Amino acid sequence: KNEVEQSPQNLTAQEGEFITINCSYSVGISALHWLQQHPGGGIVSLFMLSSGKKKHGRLIATINIQEKHSSLHITASHPRDSAVYICAVSGSGGSNYKLTFGKGTLLTVNP
Amino acid sequence: GAVVSQHPSWVICKSGTSVKIECRSLDFQATTMFWYRQFPKQSLMLMATSNEGSKATYEQGVEKDKFLINHASLTLSTLTVTSAHPEDSSFYICSAEGGGTDTQYFGPGTRLTVL
């Protein structure tokens, strides 16, 4: 079974700060996903990546397949970025679609 | 982008009753849908994988007779919690895979409270 570890569990930042959330996994995968869950519960898929780096607005996701590690960066953080960020991996155990989730990182950005 | 809806968004029911939750892919055909459950401050846990026209595949520890899943069309999957009990109170989320991508699109979730 693939274990997905995220750090930190909780993160508090001031508006404008650069944020980094880390994710490590234990076995081979086909893709890694970064998800955002707002207090109401709804989940938004931010990135799916299998190599390299992706950027969308102020969000950047990187993955190092050899080291089994990914990072999610938020530049110029804003209070509306406050949410739980979840790392999930797919493709372990023979299934390309089943996701294994990390426990999430609760980000609070203060004005 | 692809949109997945869930209905209802929240439901309160009495112990012993059954509750049906719908998951719809609004602008694409979902070959596979997933049902997750999330308890407070916990991560999402996959309950079952649903493929259109075939029986759902349940994860270990999930009672198939209690959580009935029907994926009758490429745009609709339903989860019925039968004889609900307070311990079934949770946040149920569906996701759909399809539309020519490997991305899973998540629904907004349904909060179930069993009294």
Judged by a CB distance cut-off of 8 A, whether residue B42 touches chain A is yes
pLDDT for residue A35: 93
Contact B103 A35 (CB under 8 A): no
- pLDDT 10s digits, A59-99: 999 999 999 999 999 999 999 999 999 999 987 544 556 78
Q: For chain A, list residues whose CB is within 8 angstroms of any CB belonging to chain B.
A: 30-31, 33, 35, 40-45, 48, 86, 88, 90, 96-99, 101-104
Residue B100 has pLDDT above 50, yes or no: yes
Contact A45 B97 (CB under 8 A): no
Interface test with A, best of B36, B44, B71, B93 (most A CBs within 10 A): B44
Residue from the list A31, A44, A102 with its beta carbon closest to the beta carbon of B102: A31
Residue A1 has pLDDT above 70, yes or no: no
Contact A43 B106 (CB under 8 A): yes
pLDDT for residue A94: 45
Contact B104 A45 (CB under 8 A): yes
Contact B108 A86 (CB under 8 A): no
- pLDDT 10s digits, A18-62: 999 999 998 888 889 999 998 877 888 899 898 999 999 999 999
The CB density around residue A59, as the number of other CB atoms within 10 Å, is: 18
Closest to B105 (Cα-Cα) out of B48, B19, B26: B26
pLDDT for residue B25: 92
Contact B43 A86 (CB under 8 A): yes
Give burial (CB, 10 Å; 0-12/13-18/19+) of B36. buried
Closest to B92 (Cα-Cα) out of B27, B26, B8, B15: B8
- The single-letter code of the amino acid at A74 is I
Mean pLDDT of B72-95: 94
Cβ atoms A92, A28 nearer than 8 A: yes
pLDDT for residue B37: 94
pLDDT-wise least confident of A78-82, B25-29, B37-41, B96-100: B96-100
| Three-class DSSP category at A93 | helix
